[in-house]
Amino acid sequence: MSLLEGIIEAFSLILTLDPYLIKIALLSLQVSAVAVLLATLAGVPLGTFLGLKPRERTRFISKLLYTLMGLPPVVAGLVIYLLLSRVGPLGFLGVLYTPTAMVAAQFALAVPIIAALTMIGIRSSGKEVQETARTLGAGRFLTAWTVVRESRFAIFGAIVTGLGRVIAEVGAVMIVGGNIEGHTRVMTTAIVLETAKGHLELAVGLGIVLLFISFIINSLLYNFQGGGKGSVW
């Protein structure tokens, strides 16, 4: 099969909504969406808290977060694998090679990104917002909410960056998910496998879908960075 035929075949798989391809794409989105949602719940409060602290008191944890931001996915996968494997401390949960394990691995990858980028966003004006809110008589909760609200574009940007990272990674989900067909196979692991098997039309089709999702994510990011103006296109 020529490359051109492969690409044409890939488009026909997408346009005919090939069930194998759709199933894989949906699982990818599901796993990454849940992972990022959970990572947001953990990372945004953490980043906000750190962003409001004086810089010199968060030096160590900032460096730690920056390091974890660049953590190779396979290493994250390995750590989660060790935790979840039969002999690991969380082995009794029996979730290795399930989507739950994949969510855990992607969560571990996304939290540092979301927390660190939130922290940076909050640092730029968070302190002033906090003081203004307090001065106007806001209680603890309203003050925190106001700080988050005022940095919403930076925070959305952090979340979308996290999503972009986890949906495109392959190492972690491969290790803890096992790339089991119909169960833990996602777009990236499927591309690796189908390419190896010579099913280029499938690999290219998935690649195109992934690229498209990536484009949407980065368009959103671009808009948030511009202060929330403009549409996806």
Partner 1 sequence: MSGNKIILEVKKLSKVYDKEVLNIEHLSFHKGKIYGIIGPSGAGKSTFLRLVNLLESPTKGYIYFKGEKIFLNDHTAALARRDMTMVFQKPLLFHTSVAENIAYGLKARRFPKEKIKARVEALLEKVGLKEFAGRHAATLSGGEAQRVALARAVAFEPALLLLDEPTANLDPTNVQLIEQLILELNKDTEMTIIIVTHNIFQARRVAREVVFLHEGHIVEAGETKKIFTSPEDPRTKAFVEGRMVY
139 near partner 1 (CB under 8 A): yes
Q: What is the closest distance, in whole angstroms, from the C-beta atom of residue 51 to partner 1 in the complex?
A: 16
Torsion from C-alpha of 156, 167, 66, 175, nearest 10 degrees? 150
Give the whole-angstrom CA distance, residue 96 versus residue 60. 32
Query: Positive or negative CA dihedral for 61, 67, 73, 75?
Result: negative
CA distance 129 to 62: 21
String of contacts with partner 1 for each residue 68-87, x by CB under 8 A: --------------------
Residue 136 CB contacts under 8 Å (≥ 6 apart), including other chains: none
Binding of partner 1 at residue 142 (CB under 8 A)? yes
Residue 132 in contact with partner 1, rule: CB under 8 A: yes
Q: How far apart are the first and last CA of the chain?
A: 34
Q: Which of 138, 144, 168, 193 touches partner 1 (CB under 8 A)?
A: 138
User: What is the pattern of x (binds partner 1, CB under 8 A) and - over residues 147-186?
Assistant: --xx------------------------------------
Question: Of 172, 205, 193, which is closest to residue 96 (Cα–Cα)?
Answer: 172
According to the binding rule CB under 8 A, does residue 129 interact with partner 1?
yes
Smallest gap from residue 201 Cβ to partner 1 (A):
48
53: contact with partner 1 by CB under 8 A: no
CB closer to partner 1 out of 48 and 179: 48
Q: Which is nearer to partner 1, 151 or 179 (CB)?
A: 151
Rounded CA-CA distance 154/167 in Å is 20
Measured from the CB of residue 124, what is the shortest distance to partner 1 in angstroms? 12
Q: How far is CA 189 from CA 4, 36, 90, 173, in A?
A: 23, 19, 24, 8
> Segment 96-125, which members bind partner 1 (CB under 8 A)?
125
What residues make contact with partner 1 under the rule CB under 8 A? 125, 128-129, 131-139, 142, 146, 149-150
